[in-house]
Structure 1
Amino acid sequence: MMKIDSKPPTVLFGQVVIGPPGSGKTTYCLGMQEFLTKLGRKVAVVNLDPANDTLPYECMVNIAELVTLDDVMDNLKLGPNGGLIYCMEYMEANFDWLKEKLEKFKDHYFLFDCPGQVELYTHHSSVKNIFAQLVKWNFRLAAVHLVDSHYCADPAKFISVLCTSLSTMLHVELPHVNILSKMDLIEQYGKLAFNLDFYTEVLDLSYLLEHLTSDPFFKKFKCLNEKLVELIEDYSLVSFVPLNVQDKESMVQMMKTIDKANGYCFGDMEQRSLETLMSAAVGADFHFSSTLAVQEKYLEPNVMTLKEEMMEL
């Protein structure tokens, strides 16, 4: 009789952090790494962005060891967009290298810092294939899609963000969490036309159309915008979670949302660590703004790494 191995395969949990350039992906990875580490979760950050040559976090696996955007552009005479596509296709052709690197961290929680080229998540298949291969290796992943919150201040840009987010969700085919990042800076871009929940819950978008038609430039695109809004509302998939990466409460909410999306269940020790971390907030005199206040910072403004912080202690 054939011997059956009763030992179940090791399940690996993690996040693939995606979003447009400048949306705060690398800062998010740093903040989430430090936050989860303080809760007792072993975290491995994987840099899959061949253009990212400045890594503020402790990087366990770096695609730069395999290929870099600068080398591709210099040797193949490609532009930045074509170079990024080549790098991702090269990564796809070298899964053995990636698998060997990842196997060293089987007891870790993974954060994959991904490139910022939007087309990689809406049209091209290489990144989608990389994610699919990770799932075959028994990774349980959630796609964390960051969008700069300042787009909320412009109705036309917000509709564009909604279309991009919807397209990304349909193309990537992973449990998906959309994030409005940099919420601590949103009021610097002007007063919002609606309350924050209008943007996070993507409520009745007809109000956005009214704002657009009041602008002479966008008035002639009324029919187009109506069809885009109709498409977004018909799918009824897009919503956002507001995030301030320096705020404990915001990070706790984000962690719980993502853990629910990818099925991660933490033990009693991590729960006790979370209660201890949050207990410092009890009785504090917090200031709440109309959007999202920083209740208590756990990251210093100069964005210290965990190693530097421990050395100071």
Structure 2
Amino acid sequence: MSKFGVLVMGPAGAGKTTFCSALIQNLRNNKRSCFYVNLDPAAEDFAYEPDLDIKDLISLEDVMEEMGLGPNGGLIYCFEFLLENLDFITEPLDPLTEEYLIIIDMPGQIELYTHIPILPTLVKHLTRTGALNVNLCAAYLLESTFVVDRAKYFAGTLSAMSAMIMLEVPHVNILSKMDLVKGTVGKRTLKRFLDPDTSLLDDDPEQTVTGLGDDTVEEGDPSSKGAMMGGASFKRLNRAVAQLIDDFSMVSFLQLDAQDEDSVGAILSYIDDAIQFHEAQEPREPDDEVDLYGDDDDAE
């Protein structure tokens, strides 16, 4: 029997837990069942109490104190410990029926999604190749305020593409916190960021070559002070990253305002399509059958 789930990922501060809470509220409003899993061993505050919380197995605070590790090293240790104790996830999820949407809230350290093979191992355990047979979709959140800094925007887009390649599951990329850019970025401008391409750098005022006094920065001199973060070298780096993203043409974004129920519902519909949720649901009989013709005598 198939199960269905969404893995909510993204850098710290992207609004993952807020998005999970909005999803849960939307599902409840539509009388749908969900199962909330928190896999962030440092998370503390939740609008909805998780049905399964990794802190019941291991917490980042305890690991840092007992092992003498920093936050990033401690987080990796927590996930390695989780992979050694996968029954912690398997046993609660195994009885769930196909009517449930499993929402998995991940931590914000992006190295888990980009170059460390921990998360791919967990995903394989959850999906069809593993024991639980979960139709899984990844939702990668990127804060919409990144669009005002195009270098940061392309770096975030590159991390989303890296996660797509690493995990090899259906993927939905989301620009979150849209309420923060309303009135700051025009709708037409914002629409251009939904499908990243190199043309976004052509009219970026921050990507012009800067000068130092009367001496302009030479295009071929990456050691120049003015070329470090705002000049020729930085411009070439950003264009190379943007070109790589454009060449693969894998990443496009949906817009999310977690305070807007219609916006959350639209994202949920994309997730449902990605995991083919509705196709697996059994048709239901109506509660009351209505006789359109009335009694047999009247019908005659």
Q: Deviations over 1:79-131 (max 9, x none)?
A: 00000000011111111221112224335210001111000000111122111
Partner of 1:208 in structure 2? 201
Unaligned runs of 5+ in 1: 1-9, 273-313
Partner of 1:57 in structure 2? 48
1:49-128 equivalence runs, <5 A: 49-106=40-97, 107-128=99-120
Partner of 1:181 in structure 2? 176
Unaligned runs of 5+ in 2: 211-228, 287-300
Q: Deviations over 1:250-305 (max 9, x none)?
A: 122111111111111165999x9xxxxxxxxxxxxxxxxxxxxxxxxxxxxxxxxx
2:3·2:96 contact (CA, 8 Å) conserved in 1?
no
1:143·1:174 contact (CA, 8 Å) conserved in 2?
yes
Cα 1:44–1:125 shift into 2, 3 Å: same
CA distance in 1 between partners of 2:133 and 2:3 (Å): 6
**Aligned to 2:7, which of 16, 21, 44?**
16
Partner of 1:165 in structure 2? 160
> Relative to structure 2, which stretch is displaced further, 34-43 or 205-214?
205-214
Cα 1:268–1:250 shift into 2, 3 Å: farther
* Shift in Å, 1:209: 4.2
2:41·2:54 contact (CA, 8 Å) conserved in 1?
yes
- 1:156 equivalent to 2:151? Answer yes
Aligned partner of residue 55 in structure 1, secondary structure: coil
- 1:218 equivalent to 2:230? Answer yes
Partner of 2:241 in structure 1? 228
Which structure has the greater CA radius of gyration? 2
CA distance in 1 between partners of 2:283 and 2:47 (Å): 28
1:19·1:147 contact (CA, 8 Å) conserved in 2?
yes
**Aligned to 1:142, which of 137, 140, 159?**
137
CA distance in 1 between partners of 2:48 and 2:245 (Å): 36
Cα 1:209–1:119 shift into 2, 3 Å: farther
- What amino acid maps onto 1:240 in structure 2? F
2:201·2:239 contact (CA, 8 Å) conserved in 1?
no
1:148·1:182 contact (CA, 8 Å) conserved in 2?
yes
Partner of 1:30 in structure 2? 21
Q: Deviations over 1:149-201 (max 9, x none)?
A: 1001111111111111111111121100000001011147x446962210112
Aligned partner of residue 36 in structure 2, secondary structure: strand
Q: What is the aligned residue count?
A: 260
* Shift in Å, 1:229: 1.5
1:152·1:192 contact (CA, 8 Å) conserved in 2?
no
Aligned partner of residue 102 in structure 2, secondary structure: strand
- 1:251 equivalent to 2:242? Answer no
CA distance in 2 between partners of 1:215 and 1:155 (Å): 15
State the superposition RMSD in angstroms: 2.1
- What amino acid maps onto 1:207 in structure 2? L
* Shift in Å, 1:232: 0.6
- What amino acid maps onto 1:126 in structure 2? I
What TM-score comes out, normalization by structure 2 length? 0.81
Aligned partner of residue 169 in structure 2, secondary structure: coil
Q: Deviations over 1:7-41 (max 9, x none)?
A: xxx11001000011111111111110010111111
- What amino acid maps onto 1:100 in structure 2? E
**Identity over aligned pairs, percent:** 37
Partner of 1:290 in structure 2? none
Partner of 2:278 in structure 1? 265
CA distance in 2 between partners of 1:198 and 1:33 (Å): 30
> Relative to structure 2, which stretch is displaced further, 117-126 or 100-109?
100-109
Partner of 1:301 in structure 2? none
Aligned partner of residue 109 in structure 1, secondary structure: strand
CA distance in 2 between partners of 1:207 and 1:252 (Å): 29
